[in-house]
Structures are given as structure tokens and as C-alpha cells.
Amino acid sequence: MSIGDDYAVCTSCGLQFPSVEPPEFCPLSHDNRSSFRGLPEGWTTLAELRKTEHHNVIRQDGEFMGLCTSPSLNFGQRGFIVPWGDSNLMWDMVPYFDDDTYERIQELGGLKGIAISHPHFFSTMIEWADRFDVPIYIHEDNRPWVFRPSERIHFWSGESFKLDDDMTLVRTGGHFAGSQILHIASKKTVLVADSVNLVSDPGFVSFEYGWAQIIPTDEEAVRQVVAAYEPYEFETIVGGWWDQRITGNYETIRRSGDRFIAALRGDLAARNVGMSPASSAAYAV
């Protein structure tokens, strides 16, 4: 049993705080980027969650083993257990954690590190890191969103951080100042969470400051996100939820950025970029 089992966890976003007594409100859930802003807020603990029907599902999702809580909690995100040397990297985080999850990941080779794309997925990261005895890699620009300090957290700075010759953390900014993606050179893949949003058209992605509140990213931030992807070769873009992936490369990101910026500027032609002639005609009126 961990001391953190009884620490307050926000029932909206899943963020754990460093005390049994919850704060007056959860800053992350009250932020304009949250899916839960304006909704009723409550508190639970890991100990209480373990008394419910919640459990973690671990299954193959494309190239990697994915992990997600069922029934869904908070944002419903899916993490990845990414092979890293003789062990694994946990990419992104879910709030629910129990002995069964620990044992199943140990059977897959355990963990030697955790990297989290952005604050919405910080959740109970210290519980995971303490149990596996591993560091957590977070960009320095997201330090203000860490409400449970720990020596486990490695805040890196700059535009990229190489975990090894194959895997690199890349700061994209945009959604959060310290939003980061994971580039895996051997797989020609980027794990992006929602630094860009995978949309219904597989030829494009989109950009938002706040997805749920539909607050668009400004032009400067879009350009920053697009530039972050340019140095890296990839053929697959993988989002933060089950089975969310498209075939795409830097050109996909670039043309998506051009379309988004054109729309921000009020260019009506942006409505038709990448559309079929029939669809373009329908939207031209």
C-alpha cells in the first residue's frame, strides 16, 4: 500500500494532489483547455477506485501494447507500453493503477521510464513511478501544472530530448507550452496524443488550444507546432485514444497547418482544401 492511495484525485480530470484533503478546486479541470470546465467537480482516491468495477485493459494497438481504463475514466485516453532496450517506456498515463496492472506490465518487461505528452494525462503519475522505481520525463514548460512534486520527475528543456538513438521527445507546444510528442525512428512513427488532433479526413490533422471548448490555436502557435515536426522522418501518426492512427508525414502536418492558418485569416478557400469536387461545390455556397 502506498501513502498516495488516499491522496485526493479529481474525478473530472484524474489529477492526483499531494494530500488527503483536496484543494478548493482542481486548476486543471477549471482551465479553458479542459473537457470538464463548467461541470460538477468531485473527489475520489485510488483506494476508492479499486473498490469499483474499474480495471485496466492492456491489448495490442498497432505496433505497441496499449493500456486504457474500463469503464472509461476522465479523458478516456490510451497509454502505450513502448519497447525500450530490455524494458519499456510508458507513454502517457491513465489515472487507475492497481497490483494487477503492475504485474501485467512486469510480464511485458516492466518499465524503465515514463513520458507524458501534456498535463491532461499527468493523473497519478507519481504512484506509477514510485511502484516501478523509474523517472518521469516532462518538458520544463509544463512544470506549473505539476501539483504533486517528486524527485522522480525529470524536467527537460529545449526543443528535443533523446531517450536513446531510436526515441526522441520533441516539444511541439500548441495545446500546452510544454506539449511533447514521441518520435520512434525505427518505426517511422510519432505518438502525438493531442498535440495535433486526428480528424475524420485521414489526409489532415487539426490544431486547437482547447479541444472541448473549441478554442483554436493562434497562428504563431500553429507555425511552432508544424516546425517541431519538420526534422523528423515518419510515416505513421498515432493519437491518444484506441486505434487512432493515420498514414502521414511532415507534409501532412505542413499542409494541415497551412489550411488552418488560412481559415484563421478568414480565407474561405480554406474550406475546400483537400475536398472532393462535389464537396467543394457544396461548401462554396
8 A C-beta contact, residue 52 and residue 64: no
pLDDT, tens only, 222-250: 999 999 999 999 999 999 999 999 999 99
pLDDT averaged over the chain? 91
pLDDT, tens only, 157-213: 999 999 999 999 999 999 999 999 999 999 999 999 989 999 989 999 999 887 777
Q: Is 110 helix (H, G, I), strand (E, B) or coil?
A: coil
Q: Which fold has domain 3-276?
A: Metallo-beta-lactamase; Chain A (3.60.15)
- The pLDDT of residue 156 is above 90: yes
Phi-psi category of residue 188: left, alpha or beta, with phi > 0 → left and psi -120 to 50 → alpha: left
Any idea what DSSP says for residue 34? -
Residue 275 pLDDT: 55
- The pLDDT of residue 48 is above 90: yes
Listed ranges 193-197, 213-217, 249-253, 267-271; the one with the highest mean pLDDT: 249-253
Q: What percent of the chain is modeled with pLDDT above 90?
A: 77
Residue 40 pLDDT: 54
Residue 38 pLDDT: 57
Using only C-alpha atoms, the chain has a radius of gyration, in whole angstroms, of: 19
The predicted model gives 28-49 an average pLDDT of: 79
Where along the chain do its domains lie?
A: 3-276
- The pLDDT of residue 285 is above 50: no
Q: Which uninterrupted H or E stretch holds 104?
A: helix 99-107
Residue 214 pLDDT: 78
